[in-house]
């Protein structure tokens, strides 16, 4: 019977049997622990892939739903941009827009600091024709 030789078989033998010629119960438990570790690591890969796939699918579904619900429309500033007392805060101004339904709407929104009354900014509106947030 041929005895396999080579680096691969030596490493496998060392992994499975340990390094010494005498085997005790604790040695066998170490081997069992090594085998369980390898099984755990190999088994974790499909679970991780399933979780990533499910998370990505959910994120894509949310993005598609939001994209279908939101619209980009031009809005006209009715007032100059006013910076907040906090220097790091956003500038705000009253803006007006015509929704796809034909209704004239206005709201106070975040705008670029240099925006002046009469200028146009693009804003996002949702399915109810309401502005969806900061539009700087």
Q: Under DSSP, is residue 45 helix (H, G, I), strand (E, B) or coil?
A: helix
Question: What pLDDT, on the 0 to 100 scale, is given for residue 67?
Answer: 78
Backbone φ, ψ for residue 65 (5° rounding): -65, -45
pLDDT digits (tens, 9 = 90+) for 73-112: 899 999 888 876 666 767 888 999 998 888 899 899 888 8
**Residue length of the chain:** 136
pLDDT higher than threshold 50 for residue 1 = no
d(C-alpha 51, C-alpha 63), whole Å: 18
23: which 2 tokens?
């085997």
pLDDT higher than threshold 50 for residue 64 = yes
Answering whether pTM is above 0.75, one says no
Domain spans of the chain, in order of start: 22-66, 70-125
pLDDT higher than threshold 60 for residue 4 = no
pLDDT higher than threshold 70 for residue 26 = yes
C-alpha distance from residue 12 to each of 2, 6, 18, 30 (Å): 17, 10, 9, 14
């Amino acid at each position: 019977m041929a005895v396999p030789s080579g680096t691969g078989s030596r490493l496998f033998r060392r992994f499975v049997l340990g390094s010494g010629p005498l085997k005790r119960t604790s040695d066998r438990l170490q081997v069992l622990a090594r085998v369980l570790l390898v099984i755990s690591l190999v088994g974790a890969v499909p679970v991780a892939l399933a979780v990533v796939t499910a998370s990505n699918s959910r994120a894509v579904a949310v993005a598609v739903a939001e994209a279908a619900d939101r619209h980009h429309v031009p809005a006209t500033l009715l007032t100059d941009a006013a910076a907040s007392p906090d220097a790091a805060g956003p500038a705000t101004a009253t803006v007006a827009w015509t929704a796809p339904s034909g209704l004239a709407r206005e709201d106070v929104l975040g705008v670029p600091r240099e925006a002046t009354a009469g200028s146009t900014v693009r804003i996002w509106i949702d399915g109810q024709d309401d502005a969806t947030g900061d539009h700087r």
